Structure 1
Amino acid sequence: MTTKDIRILGLTLQPVANFRAEPHAKSTGLYAALDRRFSVVGVVQPELPPIEDYFNKLRHMHPDRVEWRARIDLDPWAFKRRTVIAEQQLQNWHGQYDLIMQLHTLVAPGFLSPDRVYVL
């Protein structure tokens, strides 16, 4: 087995699907570097549906934009919803990856199980 035989699936909230075409864009460099040495088979990006995202933003409205952003991102309900969405997306990739490479901690890598290997 060579390092290219290791299949990595990315998990992030950042838009990095174009990491091969734009390896210098924000947050894409990691996946581009991994893909040079291993095989990055895809990237899962669990996003809240637009209506849920909108209500989450409304619920945490704050005059300080930095504080508002933190409240939106760190909301426990949103974390759980993104985790459920991540699980649904990860199930679509079942058997097609060896390792999940998670870039941020605003979501769990699906429902944890012994056969799901991941790294933060």
Structure 2
Amino acid sequence: MDKNAEIALAEAVGRNVRARREEAGYTQEQVAEALGLQREAVARVERGTAIPTVVRLVELAELFNCNVDALLLESSIRADDQARAMAMMLDGLSLRDRQMLVKGLQELAARLREK
């Protein structure tokens, strides 16, 4: 993995950790306390300047009551992981809503390819 991909991955994981933390209603201080860390360590992960270990990802998933893959799938730079993340987003939607989203994604992808 090149350096730019590593940076993008760290930033995406950080965004997901932050989003999950906020959804769970925790502050950075509360997460740090629960994991035995300094608040700044949590902030570095959320900014993407530090990448959590596998053990830390499991601890975060337990704290946020989500699967570890929820923290990683949306962060992945691999197209097949991103496709699985999108499939999970469609789960629970009506057929009509899923079709609308797929059509919108197709149109957006076509526009982006034109650039």
TM-score (norm 1): 0.24
- Specify the structure having the higher radius of gyration (Cα): 2
**More strand by proportion, 1 or 2?**
1
